[in-house]
């Protein structure tokens, strides 16, 4: 991968729309590193990008453009997660 570019007003994060510089895009790659959604679920799709993994340091979620294999409902996942935590 080439040098990354921090998000800013003319280059917002395609996952979370961050413009503060927390997230990263790459000049020659469709990969996005999103700090807001670093704790995604493998296969989750948000704004046309599919979650792959968290970086080794745990700061960013690695997202790739979705190829349309399957879908993931983030809102449903968050509701189920919240319900499980409330039961505990």
| Tens digits of residue pLDDT in 18-48 | 999 999 999 889 999 999 999 888 888 899 9
Q: Is residue 1 over pLDDT 60?
A: no
pLDDT at 51: 94
What pLDDT sits at residue 60? 95
Q: State pLDDT tens for residues 61-84.
A: 999 998 876 566 777 778 888 888
Could you tell me how many residues make up the chain?
Answer: 88
Q: Is the predicted pLDDT of residue 88 greater than 80, yes or no? A: no
């Amino acid at each position: 991968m080439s040098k990354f570019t921090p998000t800013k007003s003319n280059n917002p994060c395609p996952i979370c729309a961050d413009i503060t510089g927390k997230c990263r895009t790459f000049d020659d790659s469709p990969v996005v590193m999103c700090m807001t959604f670093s704790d995604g679920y493998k296969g989750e799709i948000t704004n046309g990008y599919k979650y792959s993994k968290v970086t080794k340091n745990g700061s960013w979620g690695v997202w790739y453009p979705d190829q349309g294999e399957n879908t993931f409902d983030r809102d449903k996942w968050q509701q189920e997660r919240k319900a499980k935590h409330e039961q505990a």
